[in-house]
Amino acid sequence: MYSRFTVLAAAAAALVVGGAVALGTSAVDPIGADPVAYSGPLDPAMLQAYQRDLGLNESQARYAIGAEAKATQVEQRLQRELGAGLASSYYNAGSHKLVAHVNDEATATQARAAGAEAKVVPVTGRQLRADLAKLDAAQAPKSVTGWYLDATTNKITVTVLKGASADAFLATAGVAKDSVAVRESDAAPQTTADLVGGIAYNINGSSRCSIGFPVTSGSGGGFVSAGHCGTAGSSVTIGGQAAGSFTASRFPGNDWSLITTNATFKPTNRVQGHSSAITGSTEIAVGASICRAGSTNAYTCGVLQGKSETVNYPQGSVAGLHRMSACADPGDSGGSVVAGANAQGMTSGISGGCASGNPQTWFQPVNPALSALGAKLVTGAGTEPNPEPNPQPCAAATPWNVGTAYQPGDLISHNGHVYKATYWSTGVQPDSPVAWSSWADQGAC
């Protein structure tokens, strides 16, 4: 008898807790028949996380998902059109719009024309990146726990342990003290690997981490996870069964790894507890909702709080991490971080876990990891042995057309799949990374 396991992404969900970035009841406009609301399927676990962690009912969650998808499209457009003229940007949960920080009124006019709120600020993106590079090059003391660009203020923030000073570190780096904000942290960030056996995947028969995203590479099928979970050559078991080994791993510096699995395990594009299958890896804007899951805390939600942050772990500094308010605990390391149908990254470390009143979780962005590893996300449902032909013919649905205006309920075919419209759209290609808010994949045909 053919025996196999399915390699699932240990899904991640993160949305804001409480009122810090107000996505609460009072911040969300009435739904009515507003076409911005997402009308596709929502997994019960995802809805539960939105309600528990964000205080959003189903209607409010659908409104937020739709508005965030639009803001992501606006951010991508501004990144293309403004380039270095876009200093920073974030999603405003109160107005449901992207806020763009720019340096002059002419650029602000362009940003508003694209659908963003624009704020003129004095510090350019080039200046900010130059100062961040100086901080990355300096040797940070243990009392300095990290640094990042706060997209909501367009200013660099340096975090220190309570009672500590950042003055000496800033002087060594050559960064002016008055150009940064210093914030105290109750505890230093720590990685989240757990030295006990259990579910998810185990490394060398002892430590436990969570599966990230199934991928294919030159080594075959497998998945990406956190680098601190294991070193190259470390053995991996899943459910007590030999599964493969670490092919590559990097930590500190970055926090990614590639695990190659044997033929018993079938990679898929599914994420545990998440409504959407993974079809791409487009990054969302700071301030948008995001989700994570792992083997300790199955599914939690929050908002994306920051990008490209440097975290000074006890084992060494890691640059380029993103930060979110979704909580995680030991054992959740490597678990998937997702937004809609897009992979965002793999859980790296925490400052305050799920029992904390103000949890912060950092994750390794997936795109740089895939590039470094020469790996590709699995964006199809996987291949069953000797699959039966799908009885649904492509001819039963009208081929997608770039110029046609579609409305919820429309069925089309595209690139060997049938899609159902969940949102009003024109020109949104059904298999593109941003299509999750407009189309639901009904399967191959």
How sure is the predictor about 333, in pLDDT bands with cuts at 50, 70 and 90?
A: very high
Residue 392 confidence (pLDDT)? 45
Q: Above pLDDT 90, what percent of the chain?
A: 51
322 is catalytic: no
Residue 205 confidence (pLDDT)? 85
Of residues 130, 166, 129, 131, the one with CA closest to residue 145: 166
Residue 400 has pLDDT above 90, yes or no: no
What does the pLDDT average to over 379-402? Answer: 56
Catalytic residue among 131, 150, 194, 255: 255
How sure is the predictor about 295, in pLDDT bands with cuts at 50, 70 and 90?
A: confident
What does the pLDDT average to over 301-307? Answer: 95
Which range, 8-17, 33-42, 155-164, has the best average confidence (pLDDT)? 155-164
Element (H, E) at 318: strand 316-324
Residue 437 confidence (pLDDT)? 52
329 is catalytic: no
Residue 17 has pLDDT above 90, yes or no: no
What does the pLDDT average to over 102-118? Answer: 96
Tens digit of each residue's pLDDT (9 = 90 or more) over 118-174: 999 999 999 999 999 999 989 999 999 999 999 999 999 999 998 999 999 999 999
Tens digit of each residue's pLDDT (9 = 90 or more) over 65-74: 999 989 999 9
Pick 9 or 20 by higher pLDDT: 9
Strands 342-351, 336-339: parallel, antiparallel or unpaired by DSSP? antiparallel
Pick 218 or 9 by higher pLDDT: 218
Residue 30 confidence (pLDDT)? 30
Element (H, E) at 158: strand 155-161
Question: In the sheet where 376-377 sits, what is the strand order?
Answer: 207-209, 201-203, 235-238, 241-250, 256-261, 220-225, 214-217, 376-377
What does the pLDDT average to over 392-409? Answer: 74
Residue 433 has pLDDT above 50, yes or no: no
Catalytic residue among 89, 101, 225, 228: 228
As a three-state string, the secondary structure of 112-157 is HHCCCEEEECCCCHHHHHHHHHHHHHCCCCCCEEEEEEECCCCEEE
Residue 34 has pLDDT above 80, yes or no: no
Residue 424 confidence (pLDDT)? 63
User: How much is the mean pLDDT over the chain?
Assistant: 81
Q: What gap in Å lies between CA 62 and CA 436, rounded to an integer?
A: 13
Enter the DSSP assignment of 237: E
How sure is the predictor about 432, in pLDDT bands with cuts at 50, 70 and 90?
A: low
255 is catalytic: yes
Residue 385 confidence (pLDDT)? 28
Q: How far, in whole angstroms, is CA 342 from its chain's centroid?
A: 8
What does the pLDDT average to over 344-372? Answer: 92
Element (H, E) at 302: strand 300-313
Residue 229 confidence (pLDDT)? 95
Least confident of 103-112, 183-192, 286-295: 183-192
Least confident of 1-15, 149-163, 276-290, 338-352: 1-15
What does the pLDDT average to over 351-355? Answer: 86
How sure is the predictor about 33, in pLDDT bands with cuts at 50, 70 and 90?
A: very low
In this structure, are residues 335 and 346 in contact, taking their beta carbons and an 8 Å threshold?
yes
Q: Is the bond leading into 44 cis (omega within 30 degrees of zero)?
A: no
Q: What gap in Å lies between CA 212 and CA 368, rounded to an integer?
A: 14
How sure is the predictor about 191, in pLDDT bands with cuts at 50, 70 and 90?
A: low
Q: How far, in whole angstroms, is CA 75 from its chain's centroid?
A: 16
What does the pLDDT average to over 186-205? Answer: 61
Q: Above pLDDT 70, what percent of the chain?
A: 83
Residue 14 confidence (pLDDT)? 26
How sure is the predictor about 381, in pLDDT bands with cuts at 50, 70 and 90?
A: low
Pick 403 or 168 by higher pLDDT: 168
How sure is the predictor about 190, in pLDDT bands with cuts at 50, 70 and 90?
A: low
What Å distances lie between residue 356 and 162, 187, 194, 386, CA to CA? 17, 11, 18, 49
In this structure, are residues 366 and 378 in contact, taking their beta carbons and an 8 Å threshold?
no
Tokens 């989240």 sit at which residue?
192
What domains does the chain contain, in order, with CATH numbers?
21-120 (no CATH), 125-190 (3.30.300.50), 193-271 (2.40.10.10), 394-444 (2.10.10.20)
The token duo for 53 is 């962690």
Catalytic residue among 39, 207, 276, 333: 333
Least confident of 93-97, 349-353, 407-411: 407-411
Residue 3 has pLDDT above 70, yes or no: no
What does the pLDDT average to over 96-115? Answer: 96
